[in-house]
Chains A and B, each alone.
Chain A
Amino acid sequence: MGGTGSIADVISLPHEPLANPHAMRGIAKHPELKMAQSVTRDSRAESSGDADAELVLRPPSHPVDRRSVGWWLTQALVTVLPPVLILLLLALLIEPARTWLLLPAAIIGAPGLAYIVAMPPWRYRVHRWETTEDAVFTRAGWVRQQWRVAPMARIQTVDTIRGPLQQLFGLSTVVVTTASAAGPLRIDGLDHERARDLVEELADKAQVETGDAA
């Protein structure tokens, strides 16, 4: 059921905006990839029988833009490097306190390095998104991964955010809020135009829904 579902989704993709070449490339690559997965999954499910098959959330169909890796890498560098560099500089200048400056530099630097190396590609593999006629479905995170579903009818606002770093990479974040105080759904790292098209599409599908549930 799920396998065919994802094929159907891929086939129905043309309703989504294809104006932008990046998106084109992503989708063009997508069908074979997706179908191959679905086939293996189907055969697995059949061989083991439906009885002991467990429910899982399938990954949303679209990856985010490849440039996100660069964006996340820059983010990590901007977070980790300044304190480490300042400590190293001070260690170079103040000789008597050298060990006491190098020690915290190492304590921050070692996990920082792991963060810089591991986080961006990991995030890229996790972050995915999808919209259907009825819902928005996202997956995000790296060590802590989060799948979120919001029905189209419950969407209150759709916005794009472009931070300074994101602008450097030509990326946008789409923010989808519902009436819940638990925070919005975010799709990080979309190409500018793709994000703009997505916002238009969502605003269109979700209508001018206002008010809270019930």
Chain B
Amino acid sequence: MRGALDAEEARAAEVAGPAEAEWRRLDARIIWVVTLWGSGLALVTLAIMWWRNAPWWLIAPVPVPLVCGIGYEALRWFKTRYRLTSTHVELKTGLLTRTHRSIPRNRVRSVDVTANPLHRVLRLALVRVGTGHRVSSTKAAVLSLNALSAADAEELRAGLVRRAGTGEQRAIARLDWRWLRFGPLSFATPLLGLSAVGATYETLDILGFDPDNVLIPDLIDWLGEANLLPVIVLGVLGLLLAGALGALGWYVETWWDFRLIREPHGALRASRGLFVTRSATLEEERLHGVEVAEPLMLRLGGGAYTYAVATGAGSTDDEASTFNTSALLPPAPIEESHRVAAAVLREERDPTASVRLVPHPRHALARRVRWAFFCGLGLGGVLVGLGVWLTPVLAHIGWVSALVVWVAGVLFARDGYRSLGHGITGRYVVTRHGSLKRRTIALRRSGVIGWTVTQWAWHRRSTLCRVTATTPGGRGAYHVKDVLMGEGLGFADEAVPGVLTPFLVRRGGTRGADDQGLS
């Protein structure tokens, strides 16, 4: 049906003539970006080589990759053309294998604009047009224009997302600098501290100070004379401080000037960034819900992340990347998170806050404790076994680590169990789970496009299972973890009436055995 429509529109475009269907080049200044970047890199390399007295035959080939890079970029610019017709956005590119990609405009689900510092100096921007389809690879689902002039980029973005709409542009949220305190509340902080030490070591090594033979022996000598306890305490504090500074810097760079805006036609636009600026536009019709994520440290500090559950954004890859296109808010107080979630969904109250979550059965707790027990047993067992065989030190390490795993495991098990919950509120289904990263997800009931029930054979008797709602948005599947089958199915059937109904039966008693495989 839509195919016919497309064809009709295509014919209309042909009639409209070539005036609007003019092929355009990327901005030629993109060659300058590569030139500047490459020259900078080459200069630094040359400087280090000069400093280290490198022989001439090592120095001589340095400009070769630079020239190649510039040549490649110039050719790529020369061979790349794009155009925006009334029905499609098209891109022709490629040196050896030519590709011609064309995305129907009514399939455009996202337009992301990013600019790194060099782009910004030259007033350029990289535009990514997404269709939200990730059936094959994510790469194929995105049409990337590197780069347009900033003005062209904005024009293209506006042209692609513009719909009939009479609302006015309205800011939903802005960065509040008091939220900076959430920056260091992350497990990344100590790691950043350690990486600072590593980076210092590497730099010294590159500059030829030979830290292995000069600095480290000196350090060991000095440590031998010093009082160890304060040194260790100060060292750890120093690491954490360096890490916290790094995390603050990261927060500032990532979330500088964050703004979440509702555009006149209803789309949401989140823009941010100090050096690298990023802007993501989310069509309202591809929004299927919100997720409030609270990593452990952030949760203890009363903060949370807020993500959109939207088609083509918020996959597992996205969450790890620096430019998560589904982020609706920086790490912020949980109340703010709920306020923004409600505003984004156009609801009175955030469904993840207003919902009454049903707690899960004790089996879920028992399962978690059992896991902790077996993990401790496995680790301790292996170490003690090796210890008996090799050296008693390992045996001691073994039982201590088993104890640590058991204690920590039980704590996490209890916390994870308390996190579990599911419920229905208004137009949404809500589920919550996780301890290290507690996630509360509210999904529009209309956005649920199927159900999956997963059960391990040894949970047949207790009927513990996982009920998963599948949706076109975000990670594609959202779980209600460790719920009794009867309750989980009842919940799923109530949430989205009709989908599961023909396949459900009522069965009396608690004995669960018919023809469902071996018990």
Whether B516 and A146, one on each chain, are in contact in the complex, defined by CB atoms closer than 8 angstroms, is: no
**A211 lies within 8 A of chain B by Cβ:** yes
Q: Which one of B197-205, B222-230, B328-336, B499-507 is at the interface?
A: B499-507
User: Within the assembled complex, what's the spacing in Å between the Cα atoms of A48 and B509?
Assistant: 7
Q: Which of A44-66 contact B (CB under 8 A)?
A: 44-45, 47-50, 52-60
Instruction: List the B side residues contacting A179 at CB < 8 Å.
Output: 133, 311, 449, 472
A154's closest neighbor in chain B, by CB? Answer: B449
A149 adjacent to B500 (CB under 8 Å): yes
- Of the listed stretches A21-29, A82-90, A137-145, chain B binds A137-145
Does chain B have a CB within 8 A of A126?
yes
CB neighbors of A among B422-462 (8 A):
444, 446-457
In contact, A148 and B452 (Cβ under 8 angstroms): yes
Q: Which residue in A2, A48, A122 is a CB contact (below 8 Å) of B517? A: A122
Which B residues are in CB contact (< 8 Å) with A49? Answer: 508
A208: CB under 8 A from chain B? Answer: yes
| A212 in the interface (beta carbon within 8 A) | yes
Output the least CB separation between B243 and chain A (Å).
Answer: 34
Most buried by B among A58, A145, A151, A213: A213
On chain B, the residues within 8 Å of A50 by CB distance are 506
Interface size on A, residues (CB 8 A): 58
Which of chain A's residues has its CB closest to B458's CB?
A143
A149-B518 contact, Cβ under 8 Å, with A53-B508, A56-B486, A180-B476 = no
Task: Judge whether B489 is part of the interface by a CB distance below 8 angstroms.
Answer: yes
Residues A149-206 near B (CB distance < 8 A): 149-151, 154, 156-157, 177-183
CA–CA, A206 and B206, complex, Å = 63
Contact in complex: B505, A1 (CB < 8 Å): yes
Interface majority SS (helix, strand, loop, mixed), chain A:
mixed
A54 with B507, Cβ < 8 A, contacts A177-B135, A180-B449, A212-B286 known:
yes
User: Which among B450, B453, B489, B514 has the greatest number of chain A C-beta atoms within 10 A?
Assistant: B450
Contact of B476 among A5, A181, A207 (CB under 8 A): A181
What is the total number of residues of chain B having a CB less than 8 Å from a CB of chain A? 57
A-chain residues with CB within 8 Å of residue B444 when the two chains form the complex: 214
Q: Which chain A residues border B29 with CB–CB below 8 Å?
A: none
C-alpha gap A1/B505 in the complex (Å): 7
Does chain B have a CB within 8 A of A37?
Answer: yes
Contact partner, A54, options B3, B503, B506, Cβ 8 Å = B506
Partner of B507, one of A56, A156, A157, A208: A56
Measured between beta carbons, the chain A residues less than 8 angstroms from B493 are: 55
A103, B107: Cα distance in complex, Å = 58
Residue numbers in A under 8 Å from B457 (CB-CB): 142-145
Q: Contact check, A56 vs B450: say whether CB atoms are below 8 A apart.
A: no
* A20: interface (CB < 8 Å): no
> When chains A and B are docked, how far (Å) is the Cα of A147 from the Cα of B488?
13
Chain B residues within 8 Å of A16, by CB? none
Is B363 part of the contact surface with A, judged by Cβ < 8 Å? no
Tell which of A147, A208, A214 touches B446, judged by Cβ atoms closer than 8 Å.
Answer: A214
Say which residue of A37, A45, A180, A208 sits within 8 Å of B506 (CB atoms): A45
Whether A144 contacts B477 by the Cβ 8 Å rule is no
Q: Which residues of A contact B485 (CB under 8 A)?
A: 54-57
Q: What are 5 residue pairs bridging A and B, where the CB atoms are less than 8 Å apart in the complex?
A: A50-B506, A59-B514, A150-B470, A179-B449, A214-B446
